[in-house]
Structure 1
């Protein structure tokens, strides 16, 4: 794995730990720019901020889409 991929995955993991969940189904709220800014205020990154944000948001979109698909499945018996 490249250092860039490793940095992004680690950042997503840390940022996601601050995620809020809402509603009766405890749906995950999207990661915000503020959450990313808070992370970057403590952790240095050599990745361009626009690219960093874009990748974190793309990973989060995939996570939330997969979560929604799983939440719509009927419970296993």
Structure 2
């Protein structure tokens, strides 16, 4: 089984981020900083991410350039 990467561009983040709660994601910010972790909350206008060492990061949706996540594919 392989994995498939999905990208959510900045214009679509607000509409789709709620469906990713509990998913491991990469947040690419407008400052070119990248955060990796599990999305805990999507209470617009912010999202909360917990990274791999347990730190919580609250990020404004307006500061997110792109969200990348993967799913297991059938092939």
Fold conserved between structures, TM > 0.5: no
**Is the helix fraction higher in 1 or 2?**
1
**Is the strand fraction higher in 1 or 2?**
2
TM-score after normalising by structure 2: 0.29
Larger Rg: 1
